[in-house]
């Protein structure tokens, strides 16, 4: 068979690989997931909405829709963006099949073979996967507690004239749970202007804040149309419906619409109507607070056990929201090797952190998820893991 050369660049998802290993051990407590908690999904509202949808729209609700997206949903998104200080109209929006497709479209918009995309070290694994087909180079820039280190970013942009896109997750990032400071966001925008590159701002977790004050989105400070904002309803409403969106300049939104015609014609019309109906008839803020209440207790418990029971050489992040805690082990420990032992000997799973780096380095890191497990599972699983780490490190 004659296949494209890009096939050689494809790599299986580390999360899927970890999940496969964990699934082979019945009863394993897993902190590997990235799903929202099922118990906080608004099931009763969905039942009511779906019944009403069919009554109101009949068979038209089951027909094809527009590539750009459903007008009712886009009008609701305009209102949501206004609350975030992002001024836009329907002409600036493109509905996508999850924000994952939005990432893919930003690559289609900006990247030719040999171009480069800058990502934070570490970054969302799905972004690395989404940009691979464009045969672009990944350049990772290190971050501290305030976000991407701007001096390193500027050096990268000076030395690599082929950079066309900077991809960031500034709120409660996947995988670290860190949040960028306002100053870093402003500096990133200025840097993008100076070196004439676009910013892809991915914000699936931004509403799930447990503590601290909200920080303005980068897009809210964008006066040149340089930022492509990507949002999703997967983490706050219904993950399985796979509905996301982009907010950009009209020119870019028009390109996205054309690209999407060739990718999947349109996103699920019925799902868009369900979400639009929810946003019109129910209280999204109340739903978000339900999630925050559930997750914050789990975050607190997980961090407490790490602080009290893990070896002192283990470092962790302190997420103010989102779904993840990131831990760093001593440099001589390979988290992928340790995972096999953890699954087999103590029945605990997680995602090794190395694949979240553009160069696959930092094999001593681990992403832990707290959203999909119960408090009892956190207590039991993290205590088991602490004991194993003491055996390995002490």
User: What is the predicted pLDDT for the residue at 22?
Assistant: 84
Q: Which residue has the tokens 């082979």?
A: 24
Say yes or no to pLDDT of 24 above 90. no
Q: Quick one: pLDDT band at residue 11, thresholds 50, 70, 90? A: confident
Residue-level pLDDT at 62: 85
| pLDDT for the residue 60 | 84
Instruction: Supply 336's token pair.
Output: 């992928």
Instruction: Look at residue 15 and tell me whether its pLDDT is greater than 90.
Output: no
Is residue 179 within 8 Å of residue 215, measured between CB atoms? Answer: yes
**Res. 282: pLDDT tops 90:** yes
Are the C-beta atoms of 336 and 349 separated by less than 8 Å? Answer: no
Residue ranges of domains in the chain: 5-41+286-393, 43-281
pLDDT of residue 144: 97
The one-character DSSP state at 209 is: B
52-68: average pLDDT: 89
- pLDDT digit string (tens) for 303-318? 999 999 999 999 999 9
Question: pLDDT of 329-349, one tens digit each?
Answer: 999 999 999 999 999 999 999
DSSP per position, 210-253: -SS-----GGGG-SSS-EEEEEESTTTT-GGG--EEEE--HHHH
Contacts of residue 57, Cβ cutoff 8 Å, sequence gap at least 6: 273
Radius of gyration of the chain (CA): 21
Average pLDDT over residues 376-394: 97
Predicted pLDDT at 57: 84
On the question of pLDDT at 14 being above 80, the answer is no
Q: What is the per-residue DSSP string for 279-347? A: HHHS-HHHHHHHHHHHHHHHHHHHHHHHHHHS-TT-EE---SBSSEEEEE--TT--HHHHHHHIIIII-
pLDDT-above-70 percentage for the chain: 100
Q: Which comes out higher in pLDDT, residue 21 or 107?
A: 107
Q: So what's the pLDDT on residue 292?
A: 98
Two structure tokens written together for 38? 């099922």
pLDDT band with cut points at 50, 70 and 90 for residue 8: confident
Cα–Cα distance for residue pair 289/372, rounded to 1 Å: 17
Lowest mean pLDDT among 18-22, 173-177, 211-215, 320-324: 18-22
For domain 5-41+286-393, the CATH class is: alpha beta
Per-residue model confidence (pLDDT) at position 362: 95
**Cα end-to-end distance, the chain, whole Å:** 53
pLDDT beyond 80 at 258? yes
Q: What is the mean pLDDT of residues 240-266?
A: 97
Do 115 and 137 contact (CB within 8 A), yes or no?
Answer: yes
Is the pLDDT higher at 180 or at 6? 180
The least confident of 12-26, 99-113, 203-217, 229-243 is 12-26
How would residue 59 be classed by pLDDT, with cut points 50, 70 and 90?
A: confident
Angstrom distances, CA of residue 170 to CA of 109, 221, 256: 21, 14, 23
Q: Is the peptide bond before 122 cis (omega within 30 degrees of 0)?
A: yes
Place of tokens 């206004």: 82
268 conformational bin, left if phi > 0, alpha if psi -120 to 50, beta if neither: beta
Block residue for tokens 């694949």? 355
pLDDT attached to residue 347: 97
Instruction: Report which of residues 125 and 8 the model is more confident about.
Output: 125
CATH class in words for 43-281: alpha beta
Q: Given 3-state DSSP classes, what are the helix, strand and coil percentages for the chain, each rounded to the nearest 5?
A: 50, 15, 35
Average per-residue pLDDT for the chain = 95
Show the CA angle centred on residue 354, arms to residues 147 and 38, nearest 5°: 80
For residue 279, what pLDDT band results from cuts at 50, 70 and 90? very high
Would you say residue 351 has pLDDT above 90? yes
> Is residue 181 pLDDT above 90, yes or no?
yes
HSE (CB half, 13 Å, CA atoms) of 15?
Answer: 16
Is pLDDT at 12 greater than 80 in this prediction? Answer: no
Give the span between the Cα atoms of 299 and 321, in whole angstroms. Answer: 9
Share of the chain above pLDDT 90, in %: 88
Confidence of residue 23 (pLDDT cuts 50, 70, 90): confident
pLDDT at position 112 is 96
Q: Hey, which bits of the chain come out as E strands?
A: 29-30, 93-96, 116-121, 137-144, 147-148, 163-168, 198-202, 227-232, 244-247, 315-316, 324-328, 348-349, 351-352, 365-369
Task: Average the pLDDT over 15-41 and give the result.
Answer: 88
pLDDT at 19: 79
């Amino acid at each position: 068979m004659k296949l494209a050369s890009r096939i050689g660049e494809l790599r299986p998802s580390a999360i899927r690989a970890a999940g496969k290993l964990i699934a082979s051990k019945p009863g394993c407590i897993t902190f590997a997931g990235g799903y929202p908690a099922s118990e906080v999904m608004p099931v009763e509202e969905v039942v009511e909405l779906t019944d009403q949808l069919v009554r109101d729209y009949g068979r038209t609700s089951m027909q094809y829709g527009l590539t750009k997206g459903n007008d009712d949903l886009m009008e609701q998104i305009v209102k949501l963006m206004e609350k975030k200080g992002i001024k836009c109209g329907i002409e600036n929006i493109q509905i996508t099949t999850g924000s994952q497709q939005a990432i893919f479209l930003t690559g289609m918009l900006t990247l030719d073979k040999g171009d480069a995309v800058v990502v934070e070290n570490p970054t969302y694994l799905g972004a690395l996967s989404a940009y691979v087909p464009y045969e672009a180079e990944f350049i990772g820039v290190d971050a501290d507690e305030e976000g991407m280190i701007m001096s390193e970013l500027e050096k990268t942009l000076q030395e690599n004239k082929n950079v066309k896109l900077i991809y960031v997750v500034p709120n409660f990032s996947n995988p670290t749970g860190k949040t960028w400071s306002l100053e870093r966001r402003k500096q990133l925008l200025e840097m993008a202007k100076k070196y004439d590159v676009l910013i892809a701002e991915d914000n699936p977790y931004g509403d799930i804040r447990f503590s601290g004050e909200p920080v303005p989105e980068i897009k809210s400070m964008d006066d040149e149309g340089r930022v492509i904002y990507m949002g999703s309803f997967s983490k706050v409403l219904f993950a399985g419906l796979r509905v996301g969106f982009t907010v950009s300049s009209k020119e870019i939104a028009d390109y996205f619409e054309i690209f999407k015609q060739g990718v999947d014609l349109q996103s699920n019309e019925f799902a868009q109507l369900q979400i639009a109906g929810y946003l019109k008839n129910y209280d999204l803020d109340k739903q978000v607070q339900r999630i925050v209440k559930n997750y914050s207790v789990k975050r607190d418990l997980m961090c407490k056990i790490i602080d009290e029971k893990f070896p002192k050489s283990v470092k962790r992040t302190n997420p103010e929201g989102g779904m993840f805690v990131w831990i760093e082990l001593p440099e001589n420990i390979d988290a992928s090797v340790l995972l096999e032992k953890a699954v087999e000997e103590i029945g605990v799973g997680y995602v090794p952190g190395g694949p979240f780096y553009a160069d696959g380095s930092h094999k001593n890191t681990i992403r832990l998820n707290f959203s999909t497990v119960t408090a009892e599972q956190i207590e039991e699983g993290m205590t088991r893991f602490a004991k194993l780490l003491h055996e390995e490190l002490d």
